[in-house]
Structure 1
Amino acid sequence: MIKPTKTRRQLHQELEAQIQEYLTQGGQVNEVPRGLSGRADANGPLISIFDGSGQEDRTPLPEVVAAIEARKKPHLAQKPKKRRPHKKVILDDFGQPLRWEWVEE
């Protein structure tokens, strides 16, 4: 059984009830001025998390990659894939299923 999802209104009411409960038990909310940042140097630019140069020189090795891929699945590359018949549903004009048929494709 799927649990019913809560609406935005229900989530908002739950959050509001939790806030009121926190405040009635003596909790306190500190006012923070608008635009104040939590970063140590808020006036400077953001620090990049990526160090080093942009793109490194790389040697393309497509023949090596192809050889590795061929070794992974040698039996699949040699045998042709044999198709087996499968069941296909036949629908009427209204999209309702009528019957099943075996089809070889």
Structure 2
Amino acid sequence: MVKPKPTKKETRQEIADQIEAFLKSKGEIQQADMGESGLVDGKYNTSHIGFGEPRQERTPLNHVVAEMQKRKTGSNTQAPAIKRRKKVIVYDDFGDPIRWYWEES
């Protein structure tokens, strides 16, 4: 059986209980200025941003894009005519089917 997920009310109550237990055990809450907890030595922590490596050169693919555009527009602007085939049934004098064949149209 799957355990039901706690509701928001239950989660809030659990957090409030944990804070109350911390304060009762002589814990002290320190106030921090807005954004201060994200600073390392008074500066923003940029180690996780990913700009530490030098910029890499990219491989130019202009010729590939040009070839794709050429194929997309194509030298033949019209699509080839689709030959449709139609199934034709041959009936006898009494209206019963004898055979069938494909007719190009």
Is the shorter-chain TM-score for this pair beyond 0.5, marking a shared fold?
Answer: no
Which of the two has higher C-alpha Rg? 2
Structure whose residues are more often strand by fraction: 2
Could you tell me the TM-score, scaled by structure 2's length? 0.43
Could you tell me the TM-score, scaled by structure 1's length? 0.43
